[in-house]
Structure 1
Amino acid sequence: MAAHGTQRDDPAREVMAMLGDRWTSLILMVLAVGAWRHADLKRALAQLSAEQAISQRVLTMKLRALERNGFVLRHVTGDVPPKVSYSLSPLGLELAGEGRRMVDWANAREAAIRNARLAFDAMED
């Protein structure tokens, strides 16, 4: 385990925690199709998520964390008022691809996972 990070802010630990949270993976998948303005991204996430709509504050926090780690690029126009959009960096595109592979892996094994759950739940009764 030491080779993969023992400190809270080690990249391996932090990235895996981000991918496992409620919103980050979905944000990455949406941004993988192109740049989005904040309000449009918020609406898209609400339509795609089984969760309730993401709050403005949480979306901003997730985008900042992704930007801090080099996965998201923030673009600000010189317009008045300025327009802000978000897109994936090359590193973010790689991460989104890895996340997509994890989703595909789980989907391909859906029956096995459901059977394991049923067997486990039957033992609990």
Structure 2
Amino acid sequence: MSKRETAGGAGERVRLDKWLWAARFFKTRTLAQEAIEGGHVKVQGARAKPSHEVKPGERLTITIGEYVWEITVKALSARRGPASEARLLYEEDPASLARRQEAVARKRERREPRVRGDAVDRAKLRALKRGG
């Protein structure tokens, strides 16, 4: 592993878009760049550019859909690894975690249950579509 890919290191530099991708907030660097440029990622409360060099201790606010993460960068990585490693790159505020869990619970309550007809209903529908 090179100096840029390891956690720790005093002279390490990692772009914000690459770090967000490595920390598994976004599936691709392009999605991370679009979120940053769209103002959905803030560094220390201010908008940033995808090329911003992330440093341990920086506070990030990441908005994805209706969910908001408020995190502190703990380590740097330019390499996308397993989710278990990605979780070690940041620490989420307890208040942020509680708000997100509450939002997930509200979303589950709003969701309507899937209703699937039984075999008889499906047979009737097929017959209707065939013209019989």
TM-score normalized with structure 2 length: 0.29
Greater percentage in strand: 2
Larger gyration radius, structure 1 or structure 2:
2
Greater percentage in helix: 1
